């Protein structure tokens, strides 16, 4: 079965976007077939400039992306759903596996610190995938 990870944060404009994009980048670098998606329970209108610029420095372009709400299909399709400081509410029973990454620092306070924490968690998740492959 293909591995897919779906990331959910409150506004769908920072942590979930960073995690999904870093997972794509790191999985590709390792030759792992892992897909990712992201959404927010209360989506912002846009991804903030600090996130767009921070990801751009890592070679990731999210200028044309817009935050959106997670759907039941998003949650059902994922082998793992990762949440950042929020509960999936009525969508939770649809998830096969939920991980909570509530200890990631606020992106608004320090992008690099938050990105580094997310990259460390994503790397550990990819290690799990690689070990099971």
Quote the domain boundaries for residue 19.
3-132
The yes-or-no verdict on residue 78 having pLDDT over 80 is yes
Strand partners, 85: none
Contact 23, 117 (CB under 8 A): no
d(CA 79, CA 34): 10
Single out the residue of 83, 20, 29 nearest to residue 51, CA to CA: 20
**pLDDT tens digit string along 35-64?**
999 999 999 999 999 999 999 999 999 999
Average pLDDT over residues 72-97: 97
By the 8 A CB rule, do 4 and 33 touch? Answer: no
23 pLDDT higher than 90: yes
Residue 113: pLDDT band (50, 70, 90) is very high
What are the pLDDT digits (tens) for 116-128? 999 999 999 999 9
Task: Please tell me the total count of domains within the chain.
Answer: 1
The CATH number of whichever domain residue 73 belongs to comes to: 3.40.50.2300
**Inter-residue contact 17 to 62 (CB < 8 Å):** yes
**Cα angle for residues 62, 28, 57 (degrees, 5° grid):** 40
Phi-psi region at 65: left, alpha or beta (left = phi > 0; alpha = psi -120 to 50)? beta
Q: What is the CB neighbour count within 10 angstroms for residue 63?
A: 11
Residue 104 has pLDDT above 90, yes or no: yes
């Amino acid at each position: 079965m293909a591995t897919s990870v779906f990331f959910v944060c409150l506004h769908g404009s920072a942590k979930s976007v960073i995690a999904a994009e870093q997972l794509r980048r790191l999985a590709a670098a390792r030759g792992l077939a892992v897909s990712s998606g992201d959404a927010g329970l209360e989506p912002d209108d846009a991804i903030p400039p600090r996130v767009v610029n921070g990801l751009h420095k890592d070679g990731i372009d999210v200028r044309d992306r817009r935050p959106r709400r997670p759907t039941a299909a998003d949650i059902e399709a994922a082998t793992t759903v990762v949440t950042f400081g929020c509960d999936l509410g009525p969508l939770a029973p649809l998830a096969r596996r939920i991980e909570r990454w509530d200890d990631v620092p606020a992106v608004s306070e320090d992008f690099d610190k938050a990105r580094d924490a997310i990259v460390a968690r994503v790397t550990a998740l990819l290690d799990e995938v690689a070990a099971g492959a």
